[in-house]
Amino acid sequence: MSNQLSLSFELICLMDWIIKNGREKFQLIVKDAINSGIVDNLDLFFQQDPEKVSENLYNTVLDFVVFLEDVLGKELDKINEDIIPRDKVDDLILHLDNMALDPKTVWLSIHQARKNLKKVQGVEAGKMECKNTGEEAKNEIFNKILNNWEPGKDEVN
């Protein structure tokens, strides 16, 4: 069993946001868990064999992080799709050289393009509507990728 866990940048940003802006809502979730019997689950959990408890704890943390990543990813995709059609993003990503571009650069570029297109369109928060053409979106993403891309030493001739 590996005991290493990696968190995405997006998930770390979510945790930071919760600490700064969502403490009260998170406290309500914890309070609800206590009122719903988590204390009984804790008692049962610690009556188990310590080695099994350790493995279960790791699996629980891993499952929770994967769950958060999935929820966050789906919600971010919804926002991005409102401004840039998903099929255009998928088509664009298929044509990129994955050896030269890291996922962070691609994600950052898509996010910046979405933000730019949103400003240009005058889209208000909560009233998003995809008004651009696919080509406009692709061109904006390519432009952002070129701005964000830093070639490695072995890529420069």
Tokens encoding 56: 């279960």
Residue 28: predicted pLDDT: 96
Write down the pTM of the prediction. Answer: 0.53
Does the pLDDT of residue 125 top 80, yes or no?
no
The one-letter code for the residue type at 74 is: K
The packing angle between helices 50-83 and 86-94, to 10°, is 110
Residue 128: predicted pLDDT: 47
What are the CB-based long-range contacts (under 8 Å, 24+) for 49-58?
55/1, 58/1, 58/3
Residue 141: predicted pLDDT: 81
Residue 31: predicted pLDDT: 95
Contact between residue 114 and residue 76 where contact means Cβ atoms under 8 Å apart:
no
